[in-house]
């Protein structure tokens, strides 16, 4: 079998099809290198003194794990001198990080959730890094937070790297989804699947069921109908999975289909959801759409949402198209039949 490395894949995307400019290719190479570095730290675990909690909180008031901070630093350092970026934003940093002393200013903005699935770090369950790339607005001189507030449909690249039994980087530049697994002996990511497709139908749902009593009626209805199985309105039995790492749940959905939901609930009614629009929902939403699936907040397409702040939260429903459309329909028209 001919092995195609991520570098070669990106060069082909640039040269053969002109799908990505050279600067974006170089940026994606740097992000992949940072993910490889994070993967090594994750692998060392207790031996590398990377487990456990740091004594700090992030901007959302969440306790930071040592690996949250390490992964954030790796991504900042890797990209600081690359020359393709104007600025970065991270779930773990309050404000944006402007790339210093660059003239001319880099063309791109990088956003990331450095370590997704923090509660799984110490228990040796899959975690990951999620990233999204935007272009600096045309003619903009001097970068500020407002430049990041672009809808998800403006992304020019998005992906994640899952640190599981294998380390796999999943990427879209707007021409389908490709997967690359890290070959540790060679030190490079190797293409393992191109043109990833999510089946439109599924019998598998993912939601944190412990929040059931807090859900909104349309979500409760959807899950109740799944739980009713063969005898219920859906006429088939469903299976459930919840890994509590969005990367790992989305990776399963890209591999074999399914629906993932982290909906708004009554615990903190003023918050639109738990997950973050810019670091989680947008990149994952675009990957899922690029693989033939759908992503909404229950009412509208995630990628159409105009962000109003960097750390904005959102309700997320994504995965197999027909299921996502069903849950969205239950929100928009509660009296519609199953
Ligand atoms: P993070 O570790 O970046 O804060 O994200 C965790 C997210 C997401 O990965 C996962 O789907 C969800 O939180 C799990 O939440 P619960 O613990 O409420 O199930
Ligand atoms: Mn996360
Ligand atoms: Mn995180």
Expressed in angstroms and rounded, the spacing between residue 232 Cα and the centre of ligand 1 is 30
Cα 178 to middle of ligand 2, angstroms: 21
Q: Which residues 6+ apart lie within 8 Å of 49 measured at CB?
A: 66
Report d(CA 65, CA 50) in Å as an integer: 9
SS3 state of residue 300? coil
309, two tokens: 């702040």
Architecture of the domain defined by 204-332: 3-Layer(aba) Sandwich (3.40)
245 in ligand 1 pocket by Cβ < 6 Å?
yes
| Ligand that comes closest to the CA of residue 127 | 1
Does the domain made of 6-193 have the CATH classification 3.30.540.10?
Answer: yes
Pocket test for ligand 1, best of 58, 93, 118 (most atoms within 8 A of CB): 118
| Start and end residues for every CATH 3.30.540.10 domain found in the chain | 6-193
The pLDDT score that the predictor gives to residue 4 is 97
Q: Are 206 and 226 in contact (CB under 8 A)?
A: no
Q: What residues contact 273, with CB distance under 8 A and at least 6 apart? A: 262, 263, 264, 297, 313, 314, 315, 316
Distance 249 CA to ligand 2 centre (A): 12
Q: Which atom in ligand 1 lies closest to the alpha carbon of residue 245? A: 9
Residue 113 in contact with ligand 1 by CB distance below 6 A:
yes
- 244 CB less than 6 Å from ligand 1? yes
Structure token pair of residue 12: 């082909």
Separation between Cα atoms, residue 295 and residue 286, nearest integer Å: 8
Quote the pLDDT of residue 142: 86
| Start-end of H helices in the chain | 6-15, 22-44, 66-80, 217-227, 246-256, 282-290, 321-332
Which pLDDT value is given to residue 314? 98
- Is 118 labelled as part of a ligand binding site? yes
pTM of this prediction? Answer: 0.97
**Does 119 sit in the ligand 1 pocket, CB within 6 Å?**
yes
Please report the pLDDT score of residue 138 as a whole number. 86
For atom 16 of ligand 1, the residue with the nearest CA is 244
Per-residue pLDDT of the chain (338 residues; tens, 9 = 90+): 689 999 999 999 999 878 899 999 999 999 999 999 999 999 999 888 888 988 777 777 777 899 999 999 999 999 887 678 999 999 999 999 999 866 677 899 999 999 999 999 999 999 999 999 999 998 877 899 999 999 999 999 999 999 999 999 999 999 999 999 999 999 999 999 999 999 999 999 999 999 999 999 999 999 999 999 999 999 999 999 999 999 999 999 999 999 999 999 999 999 999 999 999 999 999 999 999 999 999 999 999 999 999 999 999 999 999 999 999 999 999 999 99
Own/partner pairs for 133-140, CB < 8 Å, 24+ apart? Answer: 133/24, 133/27, 133/28, 133/108, 133/109, 133/157, 133/158, 134/108, 134/109, 135/107, 135/108, 135/109, 136/86, 136/105, 136/106, 136/107, 136/108, 136/109
Q: How far, in Å, from the CA of 81 to the mean position of ligand 1?
A: 31
Q: Where in the chain is the domain with CATH 3.40.190.80?
A: 204-332
Residues in the 5 Å CB sphere of ion ligand 3? 91, 113, 115-116
Q: Are strands 85-90 and 108-116 parallel, antiparallel or unpaired?
A: parallel
Atom of ligand 1 at shortest distance to CA of 249?
Answer: 11
């Amino acid at each position: 079998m001919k092995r195609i490395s991520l570098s070669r894949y990106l060069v082909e995307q640039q040269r053969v099809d002109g799908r990505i400019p050279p600067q974006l290719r170089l940026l994606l190479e740097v992000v992949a290198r940072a993910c490889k570095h994070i993967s090594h730290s994750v692998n060392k675990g207790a031996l590398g003194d990377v487990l456990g909690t740091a004594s700090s909180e992030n901007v959302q008031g969440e306790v930071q794990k040592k690996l949250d901070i390490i992964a954030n630093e790796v991504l900042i350092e890797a990209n600081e001198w690359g020359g393709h970026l104007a600025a970065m934003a991270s779930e773990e940093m309050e404000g944006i990080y402007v790339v210093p002393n660059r003239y001319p200013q880099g063309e791109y903005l990088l956003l990331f959730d450095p370590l997704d699935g923090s509660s799984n770090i110490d228990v040796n369950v899959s975690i990951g890094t999620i990233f999204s790339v935007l272009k600096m607005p045309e003619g903009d001189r001097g970068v500020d937070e407002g430049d990041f507030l672009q809808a998800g449909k403006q992304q020019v690249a998005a992906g994640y790297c899952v640190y599981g039994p294998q380390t796999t980087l999943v990427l879209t530049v707007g021409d389908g989804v490709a997967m690359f697994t890290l070959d540790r002996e060679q030190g490079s990511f190797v293409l393992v699947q191109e043109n990833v497709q999510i089946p439109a139908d599924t019998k598998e749902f993912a939601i944190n069921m412990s929040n059931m009593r807090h859900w909104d009626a349309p979500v409760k209805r959807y899950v109740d109908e799944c739980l009713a199985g063969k005898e219920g309105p859906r006429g088939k039995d469903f299976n459930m999975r919840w890994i509590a790492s969005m990367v790992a749940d989305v990776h399963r959905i890209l591999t074999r289909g399914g629906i993932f939901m982290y909906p708004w609930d009554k615990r903190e009614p003023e918050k639109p959801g738990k997950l973050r629009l810019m670091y989680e929902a947008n990149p994952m939403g675009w990957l899922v759409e690029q693989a033939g699936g759908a992503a909404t907040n229950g009412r509208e397409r995630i990628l159409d949402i105009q962000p109003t702040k960097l750390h904005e939260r959102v309700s997320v429903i994504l995965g197999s198209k027909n299921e996502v459309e069903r849950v969205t329909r239950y929100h928009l028209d509660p009296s519609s039949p199953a």
